[in-house]
Amino acid sequence: MTANPVTSPDRTEPSISGFRTEQVVVGDVRIPALRGGPDDSTEAVVFVHGNPGAGSDWLDLMRPVAEFAQVIAPDMPGFGGAEKRSDQDYTLAGYARHLGGLIDALGLTRVHLVAHDFGGPWSLTWAAAHPDRVASVTLVNTGVMLDYTWHRVAKIWRVPIVGEIFQRIAPRRFVRAVLAHDNPGLHPDWVARIANHLQPWGTRRAVLRLYRTTTSAMMDALVEPLRASDLPCLVVWGPQDVYLPAIQAQRQREPFPSAQIHTIPDAGHWSFLERPDLVAPLVLAHLHSHHSTARSRSGTSPSHRNEKP
């Protein structure tokens, strides 16, 4: 796969408090990538959204990180402002290759992965094959999902024809009602925004393909390669998550033996949006510990392994 960064001034969004959106072409797929912070280094914190999501969902967390690190948050294929063609690869391996192509296209050699929801499996599939390029991992209600049982909506998506009918007829108000019911701690503005992420048919089609092609064997295959590297890992989980049960937080010690694991009281699936006051300090402290610029400023030396809580 070839990867060429392309910035199109006529398609660049206005600056958002010092951030800019660059149009990047990976292979033949165009995606927007939100960027901020110092860009004089090949080290960056890469924020990877899940389903449904977009790079800009991370903006409030990106702002404090951008004070000491380059930050990048792409819209992954099929989501947000990214291309949503029917001929794209919406498999787990396809997303991992795309993420790797983006990292290469931007000239990054050392990355800190911050992921949520399906952004975890996408990121970790790439990380398992490139552990030497991963400086740290932060998993927010995501990870290597082991012995996982699909949630009720995912079960519908995974059934051929039934999933297509469901995606075609589910109106926005229904999606909003389900999200609000499942995530009572999520502000109504965020419920509306996340529901909007799932409106384009191209996104709904990508979701169907992604959920149908992802298997437990793919998750199991990530454990040993990641365990061998024992990458510095922070796990943050909202225990009220109705999609990814909290037991999965503890299971992350299988691929990441030295992981730090924190549960966020009264938070659900979007814990970083529901309780930013608790999640942001944890993420910032973790990144400060492993980012070379932050360490040099503080005068501390890195520790490859995290201490267990």
pTM of the shown model = 0.91
Going along the chain, which residue ranges are E strands? Answer: 3-5, 20-26, 29-36, 43-48, 71-74, 110-116, 134-140, 233-237, 260-263
Tokens of 242: 């109705």
Spatial CA neighbour of 194 closest among 302, 41, 49, 46 = 49
Domains along the sequence of the chain with CATH: 3-149+216-298 (3.40.50.1820)
The enclosing H or E element of 61 equals: helix 59-65
Locate all alpha helices (DSSP H) within 150-290, ordered by sequence. 152-157, 162-169, 172-182, 188-197, 201-213, 216-229, 247-251, 271-274, 276-290
Query: Tens digit of pLDDT per residue, the chain (309 long)?
Result: 444 444 332 344 445 668 999 999 999 999 999 999 998 889 999 999 999 999 999 999 999 999 999 999 999 999 999 999 999 999 999 999 999 999 999 999 999 999 999 999 999 999 999 999 999 999 999 999 999 999 999 999 999 999 999 999 999 999 999 999 999 999 999 999 999 999 999 999 999 999 999 999 999 999 999 999 999 999 999 999 999 999 999 999 999 999 999 999 999 999 999 999 999 999 999 999 999 876 555 555 444 443 333
Residue 49 contacts residue 116 (beta carbons within 8 Å)? yes
Amino acid at 45: V
Side-chain-facing half-sphere of 212: CA atoms under 13 Å: 17
pLDDT at 299: 56
pLDDT at 293: 72
CA distance 222 to 220: 5
pLDDT at 301: 47
Q: Which residues pair with 260 in a beta bridge?
A: 234
The enclosing H or E element of 126 equals: helix 119-129
Q: Cis peptide leading into 232, omega within 30 of 0?
A: no
Residue 104 phi/psi, 5-degree rounding, is -65, -45
pLDDT at 292: 84
Residue 251's CB is within 10 A of a number of other CB atoms, namely 20
